[in-house]
């Protein structure tokens, strides 16, 4: 999750670093929050001089809950992170202008689809279902609504971007390498409509551009945006 101006009293579970997440932190000029990481990710953080809060280095922004077992019980919040950012003189980091948001609610000239299903494998399917009244996409896992662990509120987004990338398994542990630098294809959903898009990211620090097939950068509606990165071979289904 990327936090810019919004606040949250509980963020997590915080997990270990991976190189492809570091690319997003660099892209947004952000502070990367994590607990340890893969050997390659820890090397990248050091070589690239990424600003980080790492629980294993004693950064005092984390706590562990008692209702879950490790490693699924490490949390932080925006209050702690912003206080430590000020102490470390990181509070002046500015996020680049990333997306173009419309002043009014926009409906793209695309196909009318109210549901998208991402088939990761036989036992794990993620779907987003559009609600016309709220103009939001609600997230489901294996047909069950995804909810906030503490509030029990439904998880939703106003904009959905599906980014298809090449994925390679690196080792016996199952660590992955994502080909998220270069070019690729995907989809953009908002307002119950879907269009095909092309993405491009030229460097680890570079911004990922999402454009329609005419070469125009997509314009998002104001609200939460969920970028769903999937394998280029993932089976994707659409329903009206």
First to last CA, the chain: 29
Query: Is residue 5 in a domain?
Result: no
Query: Is residue 56 in a domain?
Result: yes
pLDDT surpasses 80 at 200: yes
**Same domain assignment for residues 207 and 161:** yes
**pLDDT tier at 85, thresholds 50, 70, 90:** confident
**Reported pTM:** 0.89
Q: For the residues of 217-238, what is the DSSP string, one character each?
A: BPEEPSS-EEEEEEETT-EEEE
Query: Is residue 7 in a domain?
Result: no
**Same domain assignment for residues 81 and 107:** no
- Three-class secondary structure of residue 82 per DSSP: helix
Residue after which a domain boundary falls, among 87, 109, 132: 87
pLDDT surpasses 80 at 175: yes
Domain residue limits at 46: 19-87
Q: For the residues of 154-202, what is the DSSP string, one character each?
A: BPEESEEEEEEE-EEE-STT--EEE--SEEEEEEEEETTEEEEEEEEE-
Partner residues linked to 183 by β-bridges: 200
pLDDT for residue 100: 86
Query: Is residue 216 in a domain?
Result: yes
Query: Is residue 152 in a domain?
Result: yes
The mean-pLDDT minimum among 32-46, 133-147, 166-180, 219-233 falls in 166-180
**Same domain assignment for residues 41 and 76:** yes
For CA atoms 60, 66, 67, 69, give the dihedral sign: positive
pLDDT for residue 91: 64
**Same domain assignment for residues 134 and 211:** yes
Distance, in Å, from the CA atom of 156 to the CA atom of 175, rounded to the nearest integer, reads: 28
**Same domain assignment for residues 210 and 148:** yes
Contact 18, 175 (CB under 8 A): yes
pLDDT for residue 92: 64
pLDDT for residue 171: 83
**pLDDT tier at 144, thresholds 50, 70, 90:** very high
pLDDT surpasses 80 at 95: no
Query: Is residue 181 in a domain?
Result: yes
Read off the pLDDT of each residue in 174-186 and give the average, rounded to a whole number. 92
- What CATH number is given to the structural domain containing 147? 3.50.90.10
Give, in order, the Cα–Cα distances in Å from 133 to each of 14, 99, 129, 130: 33, 25, 12, 9
**Same domain assignment for residues 149 and 233:** yes
Contact 182, 201 (CB under 8 A): yes
pLDDT surpasses 80 at 116: yes
Partner residues linked to 194 by β-bridges: 111, 189
pLDDT for residue 119: 95
**Same domain assignment for residues 43 and 148:** no
Residue after which a domain boundary falls, among 87, 111, 143: 87
Domain total for the chain?
A: 2
Distance, in Å, from the CA atom of 76 to the CA atom of 121, rounded to the nearest integer, reads: 31
CA angle, 181 then 213 then 198, to 5°: 15
Residue after which a domain boundary falls, among 31, 65, 87: 87
Residue 180 sits at φ, ψ, to 5 deg, of -95, 10
Q: pLDDT > 90: what percent of the chain?
A: 67
pLDDT for residue 66: 92
pLDDT surpasses 90 at 109: no
Query: Is residue 95 in a domain?
Result: no
Contact 160, 190 (CB under 8 A): yes
Give, in order, the Cα–Cα distances in Å from 223 to each of 95, 157, 191: 17, 7, 12
Query: Is residue 10 in a domain?
Result: no
**Same domain assignment for residues 230 and 147:** yes
Tokens encoding 130: 């559009």
pLDDT for residue 87: 85
**Same domain assignment for residues 141 and 172:** yes
pLDDT surpasses 90 at 163: yes
pLDDT surpasses 90 at 164: yes
**Same domain assignment for residues 54 and 142:** no
Read off the pLDDT of each residue in 178-202 and give the average, rounded to a whole number. 96
**pLDDT tier at 150, thresholds 50, 70, 90:** confident
């Amino acid at each position: 999750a990327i936090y810019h101006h919004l606040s949250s009293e509980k963020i997590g579970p915080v997990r270990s670093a991976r190189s492809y997440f570091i690319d997003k932190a660099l892209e947004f000029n952000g502070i990367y929050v994590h607990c340890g990481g893969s050997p390659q990710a820890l090397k990248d953080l050091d070589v690239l001089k990424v600003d980080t809060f790492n629980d294993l280095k004693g950064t005092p922004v984390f706590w562990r809950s008692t209702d879950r077992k490790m490693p699924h019980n490490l949390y932080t919040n925006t209050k702690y992170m912003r206080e430590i950012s000020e102490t470390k003189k990181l509070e002046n980091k500015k996020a680049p202008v990333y997306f173009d948001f419309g002043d009014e609610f926009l409906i793209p000239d695309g196909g009318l689809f109210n549901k998208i299903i991402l088939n990761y494998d036989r036992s794990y399917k993620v779907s987003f279902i559009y609600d016309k009244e709220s103009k939001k996409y609600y997230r489901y896992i294996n047909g069950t609504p995804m909810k906030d662990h503490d509030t029990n509120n439904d998880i939703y987004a106003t904009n959905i971007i599906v980014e298809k990338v090449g994925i390679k398994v690196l080792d016996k542990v199952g660590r992955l390498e994502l080909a998220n630098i270069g070019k690729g294809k995907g989809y953009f959903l908002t307002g119950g409509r879907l269009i095909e898009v092309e993405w491009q990211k030229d460097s680890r620090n570079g911004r990922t551009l999402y454009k329609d097939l005419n070469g125009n950068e997509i314009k998002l509606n104001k609200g939460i945006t969920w970028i769903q990165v999937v394998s280029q071979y993932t089976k994707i289904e659409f329903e009206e």
